Amino acid sequence: MSTSFRHLSALALGVALTFGPVPGKAQNLFAPAIQVNDSVVTAYEIEQRERMMTVLRAPGNVKELAREQLVEDRLRIQAAEQAGIVPSPEEVLDGMTEFAARANLSRDEFIQALEANGVAAQTFRDFVRAGLSWRLLVQARFAGRVNLSEAEVDRALGASGGSSVRVLLSEIIMPAPPPQAEAVRERAERISQITSEAAFSSEARRYSATATRGAGGRLPWQNIEDLPPVLRPLVLALAPGEVTAPLPIPNAVALFQLRDIEETGFTAPTYSAIEYAAYYLPGGRSDATLAQARVLASKVDRCDDLYGVARGQPEEVLERQTLPPAEIPTDVAFELSKLDPGEVSTALTRSNGQTLMFLMLCGRTAEINEEVDRDQFALGLRNQRLQSLAESYLAQLKADARIVEK
């Protein structure tokens, strides 16, 4: 499935579909706006996609994203048709029904909600048809290349012969408050293409907000089990030197480069729960707030100490949680993976970058007699590899295409 299709599908989960009208555009909407090989994208289609993305609350500049997505949709459909893949009308209707269900609506209810906001049913149908065509093509073209051996699954799980996998990563976490979000996203896309450790470290020194900035983002060896569950298959899909796609986290974007990977001679412990505390300081990443955080870090040794710091303040300034690893927000989970009990991270913010999170690890509870769902883990790893192949193929199609803006 395409990145944009998956992304908007996820957005549809939270759609209330009670939005105001989207302003219309100028006349001559049916004139060609973009030539994509032998196909054209009309101004009407661009306006319609903008409207639909606005209804679905897609982040970013919808004018630019609409054009980009429609170009990519043309390339997807062209590639699928060349491979003899054309979804039937029934398959497209089923896809529309599936998409609508993610917003807890029937297909007809979803279409009515779109039409009430100026989005034609055909626009929704074309969107689903492009995503479905691409999904079928990707499965037909690459499914045979993502089969995993039992040894590969063992290695990823750290279950082979009682040993575990550990990785050597470099990190970049770039603050992305709303006024800078688009520029940071573009920078992250550029950095994600880097394959040189030196070049990645240079970008980390320049842009990263973490404590590893001075070391070029370089982290020490980490057991794969210590990473957030969502990050593990992404890292395991990399070859040394490669960088993950940009990972959006609250008020920031994260990238990780794999420097090395090895199998160790022992099984690292896994955890059923992690306890942590977050104390919130107003001022975001200002010099004054960071200085206040450094002073605080020198005065507290354990999570209980933070209760004294927060005494007399609103209850919400201090949050203490004990959660299974899979339920911890990804950005928080990754910072915790670098800490020992009593250690602190000040890399994260909340409230659109206006609040600094003083994050402390309280402790970890070892997992006892609990088994990883091997099938689900293998499926996630296969899907990640399939997605990587699909994105590379789309980039190749785009590079080879004749795209002319009218």
Is the backbone of residue 305 left (phi > 0), alpha (psi -120 to 50) or beta? alpha
Q: In the numeric block, which tokens belong to residue 343?
A: 């250690």
How close are the terminal C-alpha atoms of the chain, in Å?
Answer: 29
pLDDT tens digits, one per residue of 110-127: 999 999 999 999 999 999
pLDDT of residue 88: 94
pLDDT along the chain (406 residues), means of 10: 39 38 54 92 94 84 90 95 95 93 88 94 95 93 76 56 74 90 93 95 95 92 85 87 90 92 65 90 94 94 92 92 88 91 93 93 71 68 76 84 89
Query: Which 8-state DSSP code applies to residue 180?
Result: G
pLDDT of residue 3: 41
How much is the pTM?
0.47
Output the CA torsion sign for 211, 212, 215, 220. Answer: positive
- Contact indicator for 129, 123 with CB cutoff of 8 Å: no
The CATH code of the domain at 3-144 is 1.10.4030.10
Q: Which CATH architecture has domain 160-268?
A: Roll (3.10)
Q: Which CATH architecture has domain 271-366?
A: Roll (3.10)
Residue 34: phi, psi to the nearest 5? -140, 130
Q: State the Cα–Cα distance between residues 116 and 50, nearest whole angstrom.
A: 15
| Cα 102 off chain centre by | 19
- Contact indicator for 127, 50 with CB cutoff of 8 Å: no
Q: State the Cα–Cα distance between residues 331 and 349, nearest whole angstrom.
A: 10
pLDDT of residue 156: 58
pLDDT of residue 217: 95
Angstrom CA distances, 75 to 29, 399, 400, stand at: 22, 11, 10
CA contacts within 13 A on the Cβ side of 337: 29
pLDDT of residue 395: 83
| Cα 205 off chain centre by | 23
pLDDT of residue 213: 92
**Same fold across 160-268 and 271-366:** yes
C-alpha triplet 119, 123, 127: angle, nearest 5°: 130
Residue with tokens 């750290």: 158
* Domain chopping of the chain, boundaries: 3-144, 160-268, 271-366
